[in-house]
Amino acid sequence: MRMAVLLSGTGRTLDNLHDRIADGTMQGSIEVVVANVVDALGLKKAKKYGYPVHYASTDDEINSILQDYDIELVLLAGFLKLYHPPEHLKHNVLNIHPALIPSFCGDGFYGIHVHRIVKKKGVKVSGCTVHFANEKYDEGPIVVQKSVPVYDEDSPDDIAERVFGAECEAYPEAINLVHDKGIESYWK
């Protein structure tokens, strides 16, 4: 599968996906990386890895870039805006969210904010979710979820680190599943 990565931040998820392709444990190829933040560290990393990189501030700009690369699957990798794909890719966008959807998700729930609220609520289990994106935040068919324990003495940063460890397993696993089962099987 020809994949595009969209990101806004540090590109830690990109690092993981790049490593998994390099060590042969994940299907697909990254054809282009697009950031909606001009100085995102993830863009610099992508350039270092040798991927074509672009900055684009609107969905229209992103979508016209994707057209040039004949993209089949769009991977949101810490992309912190609601993304509207072109019609032919409306079922082909995967997102990773750092909580167990439908908990701790939706507008305003991203990154460390999620783990702060998880800590405040005192839940004992959190985790991550890889799902197909639709026109709302953190909705759409779920492909993989992984849970992690939350201990009383954890700080939000501790929870974030443990969840990110789970993310590094969940995203490649989900991409491999989608590759094997086909995208449309998740939308039936």
- Among residue numbers 141 through 180, which ones bind ligand GAR (CB under 6 A)? 164, 167
Q: In this chain, which of 96, 148, 174, 175 binds ligand GAR, going by CB under 6 A?
A: 96
* Alpha carbon distance 188, 183 (integer Å): 10
Q: What is d(CA 137, CA 172) in angstroms, rounded to the nearest whole number?
A: 21
Task: Report if residue 93 touches ligand GAR, rule: CB under 6 A.
Answer: no
Q: Which of residues 111-140 bind ligand GAR (CB under 6 A)?
A: 111
**Which span sits near ligand GAR by CB under 6 A: 16-24, 28-36, 95-103, 174-182?**
95-103
Q: Which residue in the list 54, 97, 115, 131 is annotated as catalytic?
A: 97
Q: Let me know if 97 is a catalytic residue.
A: yes
Is 111 or 141 the residue whose CB approaches ligand GAR more closely? Answer: 111
Backbone angles phi, psi at 52, to 5 degrees: -60, 135
Of 3, 65, 78, 119, the residue at the interface with ligand GAR (CB under 6 A) is 78
The number of residues that bind ligand GAR (CB under 6 A) is: 14
Per residue, the 3-state secondary structure of 132-183, as one string, reads ECCCCCCCCCEEEEEEEECCCCCCHHHHHHHHHHHHHHHHHHHHHHHHHHCH
Nearer to ligand GAR, 102 or 182 (CB): 102
CA distances from 122 to 65, 106, 119, 150, 156 (A): 43, 19, 5, 8, 11
Q: How far is the CB of 188 from ligand GAR (least distance, A)?
A: 25
The set of residues, in sequence order, having a beta carbon less than 8 Å from that of 75 and lying 6+ positions away, is 3, 4, 5, 6, 13, 17, 94, 171, 175
Q: Is 97 in the site for ligand GAR (CB under 6 A)?
A: yes
Task: Using CB under 6 A, pick the residue from 4, 5, 6, 9 that binds ligand GAR.
Answer: 9
Distance, CA of 67 to CA of 124 (rounded, Å): 44
Where in the sequence numbering do the catalytic residues fall?
A: 97
Q: Which residues contribute to the site for ligand GAR (CB under 6 A)?
A: 9-13, 42, 78, 96-98, 110-111, 164, 167
